[in-house]
Amino acid sequence: MDNMFRDWGPLERAVAVERLFAVDPISLRALAHKLNADRDALSVAQRAAEERILLWLRSSESAPLTGHMFGLTEWLGAAATKEQLIGADPAHPIEVPTLRTPLWRVLVTLMPDRRLQDDWLVVGDLGGLRDRTRRLLANKPADTDAVVLMEHQLGIRAHSAQAWLDALAVSAAQRPSHEEPAAGEPARQLPRRTPGANGHHHRGGQPVPQVSASSIDPRAALATLSALSAGNTRPHLITSRRAPMPPPASPSADPSRWQRIEVTSDHLRGGPVAVPEGYATRLGMRPGTLLSVTGPGDNAVVLVWRDHPVFDSLQPVLMRLNARPGDQVYVTVDGYRLDAQLPA
């Protein structure tokens, strides 16, 4: 990945280091002051840097990184510790020289559906996932394995379950009132190091799946790159700054404005989702264009029209809805806002 930055100009590199991939991005004004540079020139440099990244992610050169990231997110599940992420591959702690940050932090930046919160890499909101776990454990049948239930219902992998339960107990102890911890939980210990794509064996869970670079469409990385625009502290990348529009009426009240999607396993793994050409045309798209919109949870979602229009990925939206293969999900785009509903 570092090769991509070597022919960049100094302002483009500064934007990448201080804004696009920074742990705490600074404003353009602050960066201009730091570099004694013109703010407008930095704004132009940022746009150029964004376009370079987009082009790289759509190229075959990005396929190894994209394939690794897709396999990694599947292995991490809905909640994993920072240590698990770092230890999942020997390359993760290695610094990307141009960016002056380790590879694992770059991967977190590019992930569309999860953020580091209190040293947990979590899909969605940490507190919300903890509350869902408590409710699930409180209502589980006595003869049901909690670890199996959490993986099936919440997407928390077996190799993360014990650490998640331990953290949940600490969190509950800090609450004014809390449920008693579920009795009889299996004592599953995490390994000291959680090997990943290097293929080492370890106790509990599975290694990071091996993903062939040739099986990955690099252009699908547009959806992962859109994560750079998520959250108020991160700079916008390809997402419009236009304010979100009010959600339109429900699918039953105004079906013409909603697209029905039959959810498949490929969709849940981040695969593209077809969009009718007529619908894409109504959104102002045409062949060779892309549109980035903000979905639930402030996740950016990219529509791109190559041979035919598709959502490059709806994985963050589908995971937020807890959708499963065979479900029908309705989505609509109004202005630069995407809304989604899973009918009861």
* Residue corresponding to tokens 């911890």: 181
CB 113 within 8 A of CB 295: no
Q: Dihedral of the CA atoms 289, 25, 46, 280 (nearest 10)? A: 10
User: How confident is the model at residue 205, as a pLDDT?
Assistant: 44
Q: How many CA atoms lie within 13 A of 98 on its CB side?
A: 19
Share of the chain above pLDDT 70, in %: 72
Cα–Cα distance, 112 to 315 (Å, whole number)? 8
Does the pLDDT value for residue 206 go beyond 90?
Answer: no
pLDDT tens-digit map of 25-75: 888 889 999 999 998 899 888 878 877 877 776 777 877 887 787 788 888
CA distance 76 to 69: 10
Q: Which of 213-222, 248-257, 276-285 has the highest mean pLDDT?
A: 276-285
For residues 215 and 226, the answer to whether their CB atoms sit within 8 Å is no
Q: Does domain 239-341 fall into CATH 2.40.330.10?
A: yes
Q: Which is more confident, 298 or 103? A: 103
Q: Structural domain boundaries of the chain?
A: 239-341
CB atoms closer than 10 angstroms to residue 134: 18
Give the whole-angstrom CA distance, residue 284 versus residue 303: 11
- Regarding pTM above 0.75, the answer is no
CB atoms within 10 A of CB 259: 19
Residue 261 has pLDDT above 80, yes or no: yes
Please state, rounded to an integer, the average pLDDT across all residues of the chain. 74
Which position has the higher pLDDT, 159 or 202? 159
Could you give the count of Cα atoms lying within 13 Å of 196 in the half-sphere of its Cβ? 23
Cross-strand partners of 303: 291, 311
Q: How far apart are CA 293 and CA 334, in angstroms?
A: 9
Q: Using the structure block, give the residue that is written with the tokens 């709806």.
A: 314
The pLDDT of 80-108, averaged and rounded, is 88
Between 185 and 73, where is the model more confident? Answer: 73
